[in-house]
Amino acid sequence: MAKHATSAIITCAPTGAIHTPTMSPALPVTPEEIAEAALGAAAAGAAIVHLHVRDPQDGHPVQDPGLFKEVLAVVKDRSDVVINLTTGGSPHMTVDERIAPAVQLAPELASLNMGSMNFGLFPMLDRYPSFKHEWERERLADKDVVFKNTYADIERILKVCGDQGTRFEFECYDTAHLYNLANMLDRGLVRPPLFVQTVFGLLGGTGADFEDLAHMHRTAHRLFGEDFEWSVLGAGSAQIRLGTIALSLGGNARVGLEDSLWDGPGKLAESNAAQVERITAIAGLLHRQIATPAEARRRLDLRDSGPR
């Protein structure tokens, strides 16, 4: 991991394809709400905002470039925060659907899932007795979901998006995904510094125990040496706990309502900004400064790394 990581890069994912809008009144749905949530997270200390969009009518996940464009117009006009567009979208989408916004809008940063995996959200059904829209129950109940990210898919996204200057947040849900990334590094398909987002606590990926985090951390160090920026995403109740461990080890953290709706046991988070404020306060207690967007651009070697 890079020696210069004296400050922590905080990423916020304000909304996404994982959770459903009726689970929390704080989850933004419309482009205006998503833009304001992103701006609030940036004001609270997030250097990066990782963006999905939703259908404004019923909140189901979509990859409509027009909706992304609406969000970006507001955020770019009012903040220099690094914008990270998803190429993951939803496991129910085709690869063409998933990459359309990044292809059309050429962001400086985009997420990239580093392997196929079973994707199980059905345990959440036990926690929520009712839903506003039927699609929500149907998506959560589906036990036949494979999140398809083949080697051909990954290489295609690297080529199409990379050729227009986009860099990547490599989302790794298990150690196998780290090895997939190492293989592509060896073949010259990616270049350091790698932004490695290790993901914990989603059924189908690795668990959310400290030992899971430690194993992923050791493996990444062995494979990438000092040529990567390490960040941790803990789903659900693991978000702040694992983010704190990552910060204490010199890494970076991702928070946001995409990954966890909670701010303590039984307490829904009031906003994305509240989650960013909590993790930045923890960073302060650990004597870690918070990276600015300009510093994040420099450390991740983004194309907009000059003065803004």
Mean confidence (pLDDT) of the chain: 92
- Distance, in Å, from the CA atom of 176 to the CA atom of 205, rounded to the nearest integer, reads 10
Neighbours of 187 (CB within 10 A): 9
CATH of segment(s) 7-300: 3.20.20.70
Percent of the chain whose pLDDT exceeds 90: 78
Percent of the chain whose pLDDT exceeds 70: 94
- Distance, in Å, from the CA atom of 269 to the CA atom of 148, rounded to the nearest integer, reads 31
Ramachandran angles phi, psi of 259, nearest 5° = -100, -25
Is the model's pLDDT at 112 over the cut of 70? yes
| pLDDT band, very low/low/confident/very high, at 264 (cuts 50, 70, 90) | confident
Q: Which residue has the tokens 């250097």?
A: 47
Q: Which residue has the tokens 């304001």?
A: 36
Q: Which two tokens stand for residue 124?
A: 């959440």
| pLDDT band, very low/low/confident/very high, at 307 (cuts 50, 70, 90) | very low
Q: Which two tokens stand for residue 208?
A: 């959310």
Is the model's pLDDT at 126 over the cut of 90? no
pLDDT value at position 250? Answer: 97
Coil, helix or strand at residue 120 = strand
For 6-15, the pLDDT digits (tens) are 899 999 999 9
pLDDT value at position 29? Answer: 93
Is the model's pLDDT at 94 over the cut of 50? yes
Is the model's pLDDT at 306 over the cut of 60? no
Is the model's pLDDT at 280 over the cut of 90? yes
Cis before residue 129, ω within 30 degrees of 0?
no
For the chain, the C-alpha Rg in angstroms (whole number) is 18
DSSP 44-106: HT-SEEEE-EE-TTT--EE--HHHHHHHHHHHHHH--PEEEE-S---TTS-HHHHHHHHHHH-
For 186-204, the pLDDT digits (tens) are 999 999 999 999 999 999 9
Closest CA to 258 of 244, 240, 237, 272: 272
pLDDT value at position 308? Answer: 37
